[in-house]
Amino acid sequence: MWRSIQWRASLIAFFLALSILFLVPTLIDPLPKWWTKVMPSEKIHLGLDLRGGMHLLLEVETQKAVDSALDKYASDIKGTLTKKDIPFHQAERTSEGKISILLPDSKANDRFSQIRSDQYSNLKVASFGQKEEKFQYLLEMSSAEARSIEESAIRQGLETIRNRIDQFGVSEPVIAPQGENQILVQLPGIKDPQRAIELIGRTALLEFKLVDDENSLEEALKGNIPPGDEILYQKVIDKDTGVVTRRPFLLKRRALMTGDVLTDARMRIKSDFNEPYVSLDFDARGARLFDQITAENVKKRLAIVLDNNVYSAPVIQERISGGKAQITGSFTHEEAADLSIVLRAGALPAPVRIIQNVTVGPTLGQDSIDKGIRAAIIGSILVVVFMAVYYGLSGLIADWALVLNIIYLMGALSSMRATLTLPGIAGIILAIGMAVDSNVLMFERIREELRLGKTVRAAVDAGYDKALFTIIDSHVTTLITAVVLFQFGTGPIKGFAVTLSLGVMINLFSALIGTKVIFDWINFRKQLKTLSI
């Protein structure tokens, strides 16, 4: 008997010490340096509803990723036809999501047919027709490949947004997929919501395109845009007046190079003018491409385009072989820093659209914390007083189990690096009620056994044994509910499910072992004739 008491008491003390160890970072701030090196240093994180911040729900426009893949196929087919000297009238993506290939004669058709089966077998022929001597193909992706591209766009978008936010410096963000094509972003403690939205939502597609100086910009602005060209604009800010104007450029539509060859992008300051700019470093392939582009286009203007906005269009004075470039413009320090972040993190594979934007102020968050803590304290005090008055000494033993339950629960939350939300506090309060409920069941059973004339020790043992299966049954059904809520719930619902499930499991331990060991110890030290219950 004594050995069993020692073993259970040691187990209680071990978990109590472990919980307090994990709670120290939450209770003491700042921690000594030596503590962070050898001891747990993670504190309980506060959710968005408690700390304040931003809640965004983004929708990934996955069809744009499929369209982009079709554009690349069309561009690749066009390049292959040109390289192999196969004449063609058309090779481009249609608005219906197909690739239209128009060939002038049967000889070109025969050669393309062979190339299609060898190099583009993953593209199906949606339709094929012949009119006069011309042959037209409509090629399309398989539904499996299109779905794969859409799923990849969501995964890549998730990682890109996570990289941007990490570099932006937001602590404890929540970034997770939701539904089929949505991404949930929660940014606790964010001070500049609009800047964060611009950083997250920017596609950041970087392209290098030649300026078409051979054709008239004025004619193009009147609607006479040459084939293969496009008009894009540069935002120009007057330093004296702050007036923003848009300067048009006539550019070649085909991008000579894109941002996928970047290895680094950093904000730098021009020492002579104290103006910020963004310095770009290319990988080996990008360095070769940039060297080739600048060598072939000396004295021509090369536009640096980001998300269809021209940032600069310098004249290539000479061949550039160092694998570096610069983006200059009328940047503020923040704009240059944010631009370097999105370029380092990479372009989003598809645009994202904000479908929900909720900002929680820090004052509201602190108010929620205060009210939640107040509710927990008041609820706990009322329960403690009720148990002590109604059940006497046994009620005080139940209160001891309640204190154990709360310490264990908070320690577990800290060790799991869980995020505490307002519904999570509600889960803690519910767990407190369940802890008392378990003891009430056992105490009422003990009362029944005492009325039958059993000794205190026999009544306590019988009361615990008979209440055991009822307690386990109620806790298991509650735990199943909590697991279902966690699996299918989102955000705050998950917070409630985490604290509730932890509370249920801890309560089984504290109610069945934490109180029973005290009754056993009392009975071992002194044979009680009566029990205050």
pLDDT digit string, tens, across residues 218-238: 999 998 999 889 999 998 877
Q: Supply the pLDDT for residue 1.
A: 65
Q: Supply the pLDDT for residue 173.
A: 80
Label residue 103 by pLDDT band (50, 70, 90): very high
Report CA-CA distances (Å) from 353 to 74, 184, 276, 303, 499. Answer: 27, 12, 30, 27, 33
Residue 250 confidence (pLDDT) above 90: yes
- Average pLDDT on 382-399 reads 85
180-209 pLDDT, tens digit per residue, is 889 988 888 787 888 888 888 888 888 999
Q: How high is the mean pLDDT of the chain?
A: 85
- Average pLDDT on 512-524 reads 82
- Written as one string, the DSSP assignment of 281-342 is EE-HHHHHHHHHHHHHTTTSBEEEEETTEEEE--B--S---SSEEEE-SS--HHHHHHHHHH
Label residue 248 by pLDDT band (50, 70, 90): very high
256-268 pLDDT, tens digit per residue, is 888 888 889 899 8
Q: Supply the pLDDT for residue 365.
A: 60
Question: Dihedral through CA 469, CA 473, CA 475, CA 478, nearest 10?
Answer: -170
Helix (H) or strand (E) holding 252: strand 244-252
Q: Supply the pLDDT for residue 58.
A: 92
Which one, of 367, 513, 497, lies nearest residue 435 by Cα?
513
User: Do the beta carbons of residue 414 and residue 40 sit within 8 Å?
Assistant: yes
Residue 346 confidence (pLDDT) above 60: yes
Label residue 64 by pLDDT band (50, 70, 90): confident
- Classified as helix, coil or strand, 209 is strand
- Average pLDDT on 489-506 reads 80
> Which residue in the block uniquely carries the two structure tokens 């058309």?
90
- Average pLDDT on 87-93 reads 89
User: Do the beta carbons of residue 206 and residue 309 sit within 8 Å?
Assistant: no
Which residues, other chains included, contact 2 with Cβ-Cβ below 8 Å and sequence gap of 6+? 524
Of 159-173, 401-415, 422-436, where does the model show the most confidence?
401-415
CA–CA dist 235, 245 (Å, integer) = 6
Residue 436 confidence (pLDDT) above 70: yes
CA–CA dist 359, 361 (Å, integer) = 6
- Within 10 angstroms of residue 113's Cβ, the number of other Cβ atoms is 15
Of 138-147, 335-344, 390-399, where does the model show the most confidence?
138-147
Q: Supply the pLDDT for residue 364.
A: 57
Q: Supply the pLDDT for residue 372.
A: 73
Q: Supply the pLDDT for residue 260.
A: 83
CA–CA dist 481, 463 (Å, integer) = 27
Can you give the pTM of this predicted structure? 0.63
List the strands of the sheet with 182-188, edge to edge.
Answer: 174-178, 182-188, 53-60, 352-360
User: Do the beta carbons of residue 304 and residue 325 sit within 8 Å?
Assistant: yes
